[in-house]
Each structure stands twice: as C-alpha cells, then as structure tokens.
Amino acid sequence: MTRTFDTWEYDEIEIILGYTRVENHPLLAAWLETPAKSVDQTTLNYLTPLQKRLIINADAWNEDELKMFFIAPFLSQVPLYFDDFKPFTQRTMSATFPELNLHVTGKVEFFIAKGKQRPRQPYFFLHEHKQERRRDTDPLGQLLIAMIAAQTVNEIKMPLYGCYVIGRNWFFVIVNDREYSVSLAYDATKPELYSIYALMSAAPSLIKPYL
C-alpha cells in the first residue's frame, strides 16, 4: 500500500508506526533553551516590517501567500548555508516499511540536507505552511511522516529536527528513535519572532555533531 505524506495524521504515526509522543523531551528542551538572538540593526530593519506585514495579513493569507510573503523572506535571513549542507525545497522523499506492507512518499516543502544538486541525509524540516483559519489536513502528521521517512532511509542514525507553521504560530518538533516531541506555539507577531529566529539559526549547531 502506498500513502502520500498529505494523508497522515499524527495519531496514525502512533497507532500504525508505533511512535510515542513525549512531553518535554530532553533534546527538544535543550533546543528550546537557545537564547533569543541579539540581531544586528540590518537584520532588525528587515524583520520589523516583515513582522508588521504578518500582523496585518495572518488571518487573510492563503498557504502560498504566507509562504511567499513571510516564511521565505524570513528564512532568507537565517544562516542555513554551509559547506556540508544547505536548504532544499519541494523535493520528493519516500520510504518503505516492509513489515507493514507500506510505502510512503511526498514532497517536502523545505529541509536541510547534505548534497549540492540532490539532497542526501536530511537533518531539519520545515513543513506545511497552513493558512490560519483553514486546516483540511494535519500539519503535524505530515511533518512527522516526512521526518520518519528520512529517519528510515538516512545512513547516519541521528535525531531529526523540524517545525511546522500555522499562520502566525510556529511549532518545533524533534524525532529521536521511536519518540517525538512538540513545543508549544511561538507567535511570530510578537517578540517571540526573535526566539523563532534564534531556534532556526541554531539548526546548524544541532546538525554538525553528526557530520
């Protein structure tokens, strides 16, 4: 049986794949302790009007508008390009679970991985940029199945990090072994934007020990 990422809900991750949700997982707790960055004036001058744009439009934007007018410009300011890894977008990922007669596949919106032209060994995922007032599918379920697909095929077994976005709210997620953990919401229309910036900027330091 083949299922696409966009059909998954998070309770199926637990029931079908046997993963357990853990509150306050140590890996997530350590990540969330990243102090808010003191951004330089240039970055501050960029983020302030971007945040104002989100405040005005968060209720109205559709998924593509949220991605184009806020998420992509925001990510352009986060240091995510390094010699050993870089961001990729809209790439297909798949994995097979023979014991379940199950194949999963789908496109991942944004992730960080090794590779120049083709991604190898994905480390960090940002997925499912949903409109705030409309949710036809489960963004957490879709993020988790993409992360678990990567976990299954990665040569190096390591914790995976990610986040999903619903309108103004960002949720940070880790998957380690057969456990996952989810943060409370960080509201990008509030000063928490700088915590989001810090947590995203910390992604390379989470990845490098496993390279």
Report pLDDT digits (tens) over 124-161. 999 866 665 556 789 999 999 999 999 999 988 899 99
CB-CB contact of 125 with 90 (8 Å): no
- Helix/strand/coil for 82: coil
Q: How far apart are CA 112 and CA 203, in angstroms?
A: 9
Q: What's the whole-number mean pLDDT along residues 40-59?
A: 94
Whether the full predicted model's pTM is greater than 0.75, yes or no, is yes
Identify the pLDDT of residue 134: 57
Per-residue confidence (pLDDT) for residue 35, from 0 to 100: 87
Share of the chain above pLDDT 70, in %: 95
* Exposed / middle / buried, residue 167 (Cβ in 10 Å: 0-12, 13-18, 19+): buried
Q: Which of 27-41, 84-98, 171-185 has the highest mean pLDDT?
A: 171-185
| C-beta of residue 100 within 8 angstroms of C-beta of residue 16 | yes
User: In 3D, which of 178, 150, 177 has the Cα closest to residue 162?
Assistant: 150
For 198-208, give one letter per residue: b (16+ CB within 10 A) or e: bbbbbbbebbe
pLDDT at position 77 is 92
Q: Are 106 and 4 in contact, with CB atoms under 8 Å apart?
A: yes
Residue 85 binned pLDDT confidence (cut-offs 50, 70, 90): confident
Sign of CA dihedral 108, 194, 137, 131: negative
- Residue 128: the pLDDT is 65
Kindly indicate the confidence band of residue 82, based on its pLDDT and cuts at 50, 70 and 90. confident
Whether pLDDT at 10 is above 60 = yes
The secondary structure of residue 68, as a DSSP letter, is I
pLDDT at 67: 93
